[in-house]
Amino acid sequence: MYVASHDPVGAGNHYPTCVFHELTGLWCPGCGLTRGTYALLHGDLPAAVSLNVFTPLVLGVILMTWVAWVRRAWGRPPRPIALRLPRWWSPALIATVLAYGVVRNLPGFHALAP
């Protein structure tokens, strides 16, 4: 995996910058995910969460999607999701992510910035 072997903060990296941050100077809800992924893949959970609180969640979803893809590629049906989420879960997650994007830019909440 490229992120595991190439530090996003190190010199010579080829990671794109966040367009939203470049244009506005504000942190979007996704800012810090690449650096958080690098930290998590190197076993530093506190650093990963401090860069973006959604890093473990996003990586979990990516891993589950990859496993489902591999199962289909091998001719096996994907496993059904054991937990059926209520209808309000998706809008609540979107609202939480948007609220996180707003709060991390407010004065006094600099600890949420990556």
Condensed to tens digits (0 to 9), the pLDDT of residues 2-34 reads: 777 777 776 667 778 888 988 999 999 999 898
Question: Residue 98 corresponds to which tokens in the numbers above?
Answer: 């948007």
What span, in angstroms and rounded, lies between the C-alpha atoms of 30 and 16? 13
pLDDT of res. 104: 93
What span, in angstroms and rounded, lies between the C-alpha atoms of 31 and 54? 10
34-80 residue pLDDT tens: 888 889 888 899 999 999 999 998 888 888 888 888 888 998 877 76
Q: Are 28 and 110 in contact (CB under 8 A)?
A: no
Judge whether residue 100 has pLDDT over 60. yes
Judge whether residue 82 has pLDDT over 70. no
What span, in angstroms and rounded, lies between the C-alpha atoms of 69 and 20? 31
What span, in angstroms and rounded, lies between the C-alpha atoms of 101 and 112? 9
Q: Are 114 and 106 in contact (CB under 8 A)?
A: no
